[in-house]
Structure 1
């Protein structure tokens, strides 16, 4: 086990876990990155080279009559909604992998809030939370006084986010809270202008060819800042993702895509933006690169 400091001044811990045989299939799916001992990488590489995860991805798309966007919408309105509502929530009805992913995602949210507040008070600042899920970021932003527009491709996720917001943002608090505006929308259909746009852990569902356009569109909505988190593409993480695809589990997951930081930076530069801050949030099963971009 080793500890390392990230760019946000916090310390995260990574560890090599036992072989995959230590985990049940229900603990792994295509979007779960399983960490394995370095000595096993070479042995697994040969096995993985014989698999065809792309075939499973094509079959998923055919079943819902579309491409990545349709697969994502279908998944997060059905089995994916039930799974991720538990992960993003506080219930104890999660396995150790899901609990670890919950920890990693919460660390990403905490780092985003810290990054935003480092620039000053969020009182009255307009923020677009693109891909809001169950409101893990939108609700804390509203508590800080931000004017939040939150959207998600999943109607089930949006309904849950609205429910959570009503429960947590009660009237009578010392700070005036503006209830977030929630809508069902995909990234490409978002419009308006905002001081800040945030998109967390969404790009993993789309290939780089689609992500480039999404990044450009999100940048066009922001006046000052764009924060993105994505699963980083390295040889090691790519191998781990492929291992996860060997164990799809009983529920169908979305297709998972890793993105090289250089590709994300290139997409930003193409539309006149540059990366100002970078960070890496890692737990045993969660890996996320977080970048803050501003107009160049």
Structure 2
């Protein structure tokens, strides 16, 4: 791969601000793990970070792979970063990726999470120490999102007998604690490998907890979201929409809403200018592991889709770690 902008590119704000950002990108045959993971599975953002935290974000990425170096001297210099992005053509790469799966976005996600993606994410969503700093950060961010959902449902009282559909269950990080709380859980994932791992982890959690099995054992099935049927009190869908563009997300929300009698809980990667630019930086580093696209979504677009489906947002949370950013919404039927 050719080197892009080997000399540092410096953009300077007005003198009063006395802030600058220097960006040096050296693209090598090795792929920066920090960029691969963050761009493919979590929304990258500096919208709410301080200068110190921004520096930590980029120095962490640099520490994982010497092919990427960022020096941030306070804030986010959008203009300086924007000039760098002209050198890449991510749209062409997306087209090539889509061609490999016959233009089917869903098939690309399914293939990824049944192969290389499964190996990576079952470690991130597990307890193994065989993760790097970025993967650990994403694990902690996802866990925080799950804890927020559990707090919301606990505030409603006992879950005994409450029917829950967890769409895109992954390895069961949300479905399992809901089942252990007494909910009647129907969990599914587009990846058979993920659904199988979730079933295995439920049995392990049950054995290690020493508690009795729930009255209704959770079901873990390999199924794409649009194929889910039934009626449930609560429908959840965490960290799934990042893999799909807005038009697909609109359809997903409509279908999820048709399954819920009462409540929807969803998360997505929020779209801001800073998030979008850092996502583009990640796209400077193509590779075979980047088998899915990362899509950011405007909160107003997601909320509009919920309203069209007859739901009103009643709770909002934001999870922001160094490499994991997720907006969480609870909506109830009106």
Give TM-score scaled by structure 1 length.
0.88
What is the match of residue 261 of structure 2? 223
- Asked if the contact 1:228–1:292 (Cα under 8 Å) also holds between the matched residues in 2, the reply is yes
Partner of 1:179, secondary structure, is coil
Partner of 1:28, secondary structure, is helix
1:137 equivalenced with 2:144 (yes/no): no
The match for 1:284 among 303, 307, 322 is 322
1:91 equivalenced with 2:128 (yes/no): yes
1:26 equivalenced with 2:33 (yes/no): yes
What is the match of residue 68 of structure 1? 105
Unaligned 5+ segments in structure 1 are 1-16
Does the C-alpha gap of structure 1 residues 42 and 255 become closer, same or farther in structure 2, counting only changes over 3 Å? same
- Asked if the contact 1:27–1:249 (Cα under 8 Å) also holds between the matched residues in 2, the reply is no
- What is the CA distance between 1:223 and its match in structure 2? 0.6
- Superposition pairs for residues 23-62 of structure 1, below 5 Å? 25-29=32-36, 30-31=39-40, 32=42, 33=44, 36=54, 37=72, 38-62=75-99
What is the match of residue 192 of structure 1? 230
Q: Which moved more, 1:55-64 or 1:266-275?
A: 55-64
RMSD: 2.2
- What is the CA distance between 1:291 and its match in structure 2? 0.3
- What is the CA distance between 1:43 and its match in structure 2? 1.5
Is the radius of gyration larger for structure 1 or structure 2?
2
Partner of 1:294, secondary structure, is strand
**Number of aligned positions between the proteins:** 280
Partner of 1:124, secondary structure, is coil
Unaligned 5+ segments in structure 2 are 1-20, 47-53, 55-71
Q: Distance in 1 between matches of 2:261 and 2:168?
A: 19
Q: Distance in 2 between matches of 1:87 and 1:18?
A: 31
Does the C-alpha gap of structure 1 residues 139 and 39 become closer, same or farther in structure 2, counting only changes over 3 Å? closer
- Asked if the contact 1:34–1:244 (Cα under 8 Å) also holds between the matched residues in 2, the reply is no
Partner of 1:136, secondary structure, is coil
The match for 2:138 among 94, 98, 101 is 101
Q: Distance in 2 between matches of 1:193 and 1:102?
A: 31
Q: Give CA-to-partner distance per residue, 1:169-191, whole Å, 9 cap, x none.
A: 23961574532101111111111
- What is the CA distance between 1:166 and its match in structure 2? 1.3
Partner of 1:157, secondary structure, is helix
What is the match of residue 183 of structure 2? 146
Structure with the bigger RCO (C-alpha within 8 Å, sep 6+) is 1
- What is the CA distance between 1:63 and its match in structure 2? 1.2
Give TM-score scaled by structure 2 length.
0.79
1:113 equivalenced with 2:120 (yes/no): no
- Asked if the contact 1:277–1:293 (Cα under 8 Å) also holds between the matched residues in 2, the reply is yes
Does the C-alpha gap of structure 1 residues 41 and 254 become closer, same or farther in structure 2, counting only changes over 3 Å? same
1:243 equivalenced with 2:281 (yes/no): yes
